[in-house]
């Protein structure tokens, strides 16, 4: 065992008994390199964080430039900091007019927490509607929304008045009423294995929220930033949320989250009580600088426009009888195999072959595909061949 590996297990709090355990010393583009010099294709973008790849020169320069000017100054919201204001401007310029006010947080789950408080504060209501097999983070409020009792049960009592329904079901339409503060949902449900709702159902949820005064919160922490073939996934359903949640790719590789709403909603967090929502490090200037640089690269390059062709390449190349089903939406897919055990063996073999992938929280029989949008067509073909090789080895 290497010394760093020994330290990892001795001093780093573990999230499971079976971490991947790679010791990565460098990452660039779509690749990561371990301590022995072995190269891996990152086929999940660090869980949808590295949407434009790792260590893009413009993102690295933005981090260096900002770090040399200043880092932390004071708690969020007190001083005017240009990295925050300029990034908020860029985001809102690329969002519908009603999403014009940004509250930066440290992470996606903190964005969820802030949005829940905003939903209850603005409406004066308590009931929250969430969905089975949903994932919005692991802090206590977010955990209350999580759509799986296995993960919730050990931490009860949780947030009260949270009601869960099946994603895509008509039952929820009858449940949204004058007592509902907010409906929180992923635009495309991630951890169930990339579950895409119908446009009609999404629009029906939007209309019912409008009719009852409930706020619609859309979580695009994984789906955002071009992953689905448009900058924001909700564009493809012809709806606009009242509150949008962002994270993961938002910081360009640095920790950053945000909830975004209309100014008239957001201002309710600034009085009765004052400091209704506050964070010390949220909207860290280095994170905002790198996030803005990454979004500018994404907007100026052809990555989003090329998503559909790359999606087609993945679905055509990954044609194997052992794959029972492919769920996909943009450059984002899940491969379902016969059992959890087979899926885990295939994932392990992929990593041995130099391809980083993983499974889904509520669909352990599915393998995750979410490479950087910057991946080239030939690199994507190589990655698909590695997947097919692993399948062939593990399903003989």
- Whether 241 and 171 share a structural domain: yes
**What is the per-residue pLDDT for 370?**
98
- Whether 220 and 313 share a structural domain: no
Looking at residue 348, which CATH number applies to its domain?
3.90.1150.10
Angstrom distance (rounded) from CA 113 to CA 119 = 10
- Whether 195 and 334 share a structural domain: no
**Residue that terminates a domain, selected from 284, 300, 316:** 300
Strands 215-219, 243-246: pairing kind: parallel
Edge-to-edge strand ranges of the sheet holding 180-186: 101-105, 257-261, 243-246, 215-219, 180-186, 127-131, 162-165
> Whole-prediction pTM value?
0.97
- Whether 101 and 218 share a structural domain: yes
**What is the per-residue pLDDT for 2?**
82
- Whether 293 and 194 share a structural domain: yes
High-pLDDT (> 70) share of the chain, %:
100
- Whether 280 and 349 share a structural domain: no
- Whether 72 and 50 share a structural domain: no
Question: How many separate domains does the chain show?
Answer: 2
Q: Which residues of the chain have pLDDT under 50?
A: none
Pseudo-torsion of CA 221, 302, 318, 193, nearest 10°? 10
* Residue range of the domain that includes 74: 58-300
- Whether 47 and 166 share a structural domain: no
**Residue that terminates a domain, selected from 247, 273, 300:** 300
- Whether 306 and 228 share a structural domain: no
Angstrom distance (rounded) from CA 221 to CA 228 = 12
**Residue that terminates a domain, selected from 276, 300, 324:** 300
**136 contacts: CB under 8 Å, gap ≥ 6:** 108, 109, 112, 130, 142, 145, 146, 184, 186, 219, 221, 245
- Whether 258 and 152 share a structural domain: yes
- Whether 183 and 326 share a structural domain: no
- Whether 327 and 217 share a structural domain: no
């Amino acid at each position: 065992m290497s010394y760093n590996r020994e330290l990892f297990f001795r001093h780093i709090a573990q999230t499971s008994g079976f971490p991947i355990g790679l010791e990565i010393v460098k990452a660039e583009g779509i690749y990561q390199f371990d301590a022995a010099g072995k190269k891996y294709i990152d086929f999940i973008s660090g869980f949808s964080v590295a949407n434009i790849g790792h260590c893009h020169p413009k993102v690295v320069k933005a981090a260096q430039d900002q770090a040399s000017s200043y880092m932390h100054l004071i708690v969020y919201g007190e001083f005017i900091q240009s990295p925050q204001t300029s990034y908020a401007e860029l985001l809102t310029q690329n969002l519908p007019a009603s999403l014009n006010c940004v509250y930066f947080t440290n992470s996606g789950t903190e964005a969820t927490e802030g949005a829940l408080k905003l939903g209850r504060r603005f409406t004066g209501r308590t009931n929250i509607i969430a969905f089975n097999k949903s994932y919005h983070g692991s802090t206590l409020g977010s955990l209350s929304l999580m759509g799986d009792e296995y993960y919730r049960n050990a931490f009860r009592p949780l947030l009260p008045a949270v009601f869960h329904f099946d994603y895509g079901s008509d039952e929820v339409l009858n449940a949204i009423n004058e007592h509902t503060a907010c409906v929180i949902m992923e635009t495309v449900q991630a951890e169930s294995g990339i579950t895409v709702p119908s446009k009609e159902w999404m629009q029906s949820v939007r209309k019912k929220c409008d009719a009852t005064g409930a706020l619609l919160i859309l979580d695009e922490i994984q789906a955002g930033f071009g992953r689905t073939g448009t900058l924001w996934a909700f564009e493809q359903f012809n709806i606009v949320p009242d509150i949008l949640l962002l994270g993961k790719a938002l910081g360009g590789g640095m920790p950053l989250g945000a909830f975004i709403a209309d100014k008239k909603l957001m201002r309710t967090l600034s009085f009765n009580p004052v400091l209704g929502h506050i964070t010390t490090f949220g909207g860290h200037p280095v994170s905002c600088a790198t996030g803005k640089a990454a979004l500018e690269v994404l907007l100026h390059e052809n990555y989003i426009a090329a998503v559909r062709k790359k999606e087609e390449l993945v679905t055509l190349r990954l044609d194997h009888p052992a794959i029972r089903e492919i769920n996909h939406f943009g450059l984002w897919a899940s491969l379902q195999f016969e059992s959890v055990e087979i899926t885990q063996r295939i994932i392990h073999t992929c990593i041995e072959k130099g391809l980083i992938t993983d499974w889904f929280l509520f669909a352990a029989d599915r393998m995750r595909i979410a490479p950087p949008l910057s991946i080239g067509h030939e690199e994507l073909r190589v990655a698909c061949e590695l997947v097919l090789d692993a399948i062939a080895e593990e399903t003989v």
